[in-house]
Amino acid sequence: MSTTPTTSAVQTSSSPPGAVEVLGRISAALDDLPAHRPVAARVVAEADDTASDARSLGRTLGYDPALLAKVLRLANSAYFGLSGRVSQPAFAVTVVGFSTVRSLAVSAMAGLDDVPESLAGFWDRSVLTAVAAAEFAPRLGCGAPEAFSVGLLARLGQALLVRCDPVEYPRMTVECADREELLAAENRRYGATHTRVSAEALAAWAFPEDLAHALSQVDRPGWATPLATCVRLGLELSERITDPARTPQVAEQLSAGHVRDAELDAVRAGVTRTAAELVQLLTA
């Protein structure tokens, strides 16, 4: 599995000295984290190996009981339509898909089982984003499992920033009124947003290039790949649900006219219900 440092890819020539130090810590963390959850790191590597199959990946999952339990709970959720019928790791991998297993392994490797208080609501927002992104994937011509996977990890960079800038970044999350304000503050301090840091983490951990590339486009203005557009819509809907006072972004602009605001709001209730169930399963 690649552990290519991300600092040079994230930082800019205008990054202040403090930002360079923080991004350097993130680069080191990306190299170090696999050692803390070696089985999860193996799962990430195997999920991208063309020689791997559901049986071999399920066998590897078995060496990390907590991660295996999470995958089994997810496979038995109503979201996948097989409640109570999945008991074997290989079948669970087949049900949820390699991309979702890979994302759950990254979450474990990054320590997201124990999200700090400064990121209150992290899993609620992440799962809402994943479910909503998958909802619009067929409409935009991309795979729902990939949209779910990328949506789930879109905020991974926040966890890395908290880990590597434990004083200033939590302060920023409290002081910023909404996601857009936080992105602007991140750009000022680090020369990069947490979504960009997430993209660099996926690239460093050898995710398929199109997934990391999609995340890198999410917060850029203008055209984006269909997968990036799904995540944009997922992020927007998650913010509408969790922060009703925030001024919404226009869905037509986020999706280049493919999805209207009314369509985004039409799936709100269903996405909210599904995400609430999945959050309970993933944080149990």
Using pLDDT thresholds of 50, 70 and 90, give the confidence band for residue 83.
confident
For residue 222, what are the contacts with CB-CB under 8 A and spacing of at least 6?
A: none
| CATH class of segment(s) 1-8+19-32+117-284 | mainly alpha
Segment 235-245, tens digit of pLDDT: 999 999 999 99
For residue 202, what are the contacts with CB-CB under 8 A and spacing of at least 6?
A: 106, 153, 156, 211, 212, 215
Q: Where are the domains of the chain?
A: 1-8+19-32+117-284, 38-110
In DSSP notation, 192-218 reads S-HHHHHHHHHHHTT--HHHHHHHHHT
* CA distances from residue 24 to 11, 16, 111 in whole angstroms, order as listed: 9, 12, 19
Segment 178-232, tens digit of pLDDT: 999 999 999 999 999 999 999 999 998 888 899 999 999 999 988 999 999 999 9
| 9 touches 178 (CB < 8 A) | no
What is the value of pTM for the model shown? Answer: 0.91
On the question of pLDDT at 159 being above 90, the answer is yes
